[in-house]
Amino acid sequence: MLTEERYTTILKILDEKKAVTVLELTKVLNSSESTVRRDLTSLHQSGKLYKVYGGATSIDNNYSTREEDVKTKQDLHTAEKTAIAKRAAALIRRGDFVYIDAGTTTELMIDFLTETNASYVTNGIVHAAKLLTRGFKVFIIGGELKAVTEAVIGAEAVNNLKFYNFTKGFFGTNGISTKSGFSTPDSSEGIVKGEALTRCKKAFILADPSKLNKIAPITFANISCATIITNTLQDKKYLDYTNIIEVNEEHDLHSNL
């Protein structure tokens, strides 16, 4: 079977089943595991499927409306988040006026901050308290408090942000997609994220690899609007869309920071 025929067959199976294993594909395609894995890698890099351990899922299968609470999120991907947070904190310079979005990875970032000659603005209640305790100059925007994420949201928060112009901003996200950009489940929180991001000279998305190739209901920014700070980047297609800082490598990929 020719390569393009295998590709067509794989995508047809995924369209019907939404998920498939390497073992299933070896039987259907009458091909070796190494050939199937190469095919899945190629299709993954071209954005036609999502390669997972032992097989693949359809892109549509990675749509999620769920919003975990803060405690649950804190227990997920902690090593990856810590590495990302440390790298993000190192980007802050003397005189910066910094926005820090609510989120578990952005909260971890505060542990690594050393620049006291910078000012910090946040919509995270826990973030504000943590910054204050560590002796930083901090402002918190006003508005409605969302219980699940402990973030300040709503129209008042958006109006507060209109007075600010940030040198750098650091944001969390629930999903990253080349088509749907950066996304989150809640419209009110998404509007606040979007407004804050547009007011940043440089914006950074802090995202462990589990956020890649995921789509949540509300897009708050196009993928080209921010630099992604993540761990080892397996899906190289993102390099064609935005700057990437890969924290597990000695050099930054496609980054001119």
**25-35 pLDDT, tens digit each:** 999 999 999 99
Grade residue 16 by pLDDT with cuts at 50, 70 and 90. Answer: confident
CB 123 within 8 A of CB 101: yes
Q: Can you tell me the mean pLDDT for 87-108?
A: 97
pLDDT tens, 101-159? 999 999 999 999 999 999 999 999 999 999 999 999 999 999 999 988 889 999 999 99
Query: What band does 71 get if pLDDT is binned at 50, 70 and 90?
Result: low
Q: At what angle do helices 33-45 and 22-29 cross, to 10 degrees?
A: 110
Mean of per-residue pLDDT scores for the chain: 89
* Domain ranges (residues) in the chain: 3-62, 70-246
What confidence category does residue 94 fall into, taking pLDDT thresholds of 50, 70 and 90?
very high
Query: What tokens does 162 get?
Result: 């209109």
Q: What is the DSSP letter of 142?
A: -
Report, at the CATH architecture level, how domain 70-246 is classified: 3-Layer(aba) Sandwich (3.40)
At residue 74, the pLDDT reads 66
% of the chain with per-residue pLDDT over 90: 68
Q: What is the pLDDT of residue 257?
A: 56
Task: Say whether pLDDT at 53 is over 90.
Answer: no
Q: Please report the pLDDT score of residue 190 as a whole number.
A: 95
For 166, the enclosing helix (H) or strand (E) is strand 166-171
Whether 251 shows a pLDDT value over 50: the answer reads no
Tell me the two tokens of residue 218.
């509300």
Residue 48 banded pLDDT, cuts 50, 70, 90? confident
pLDDT for 93 beyond 70 = yes
Query: What's the topology of domain 3-62?
Result: Arc Repressor Mutant, subunit A (1.10.10)
d(CA 130, CA 159) in angstroms, rounded, equals: 24
Residue appearing with tokens 């749907």: 180
CA 45/CA 48 separation, integer angstroms: 8
CA angle at 52 for the pair 38 and 32, rounded to the nearest 5°: 35
pTM for the whole structure: 0.75
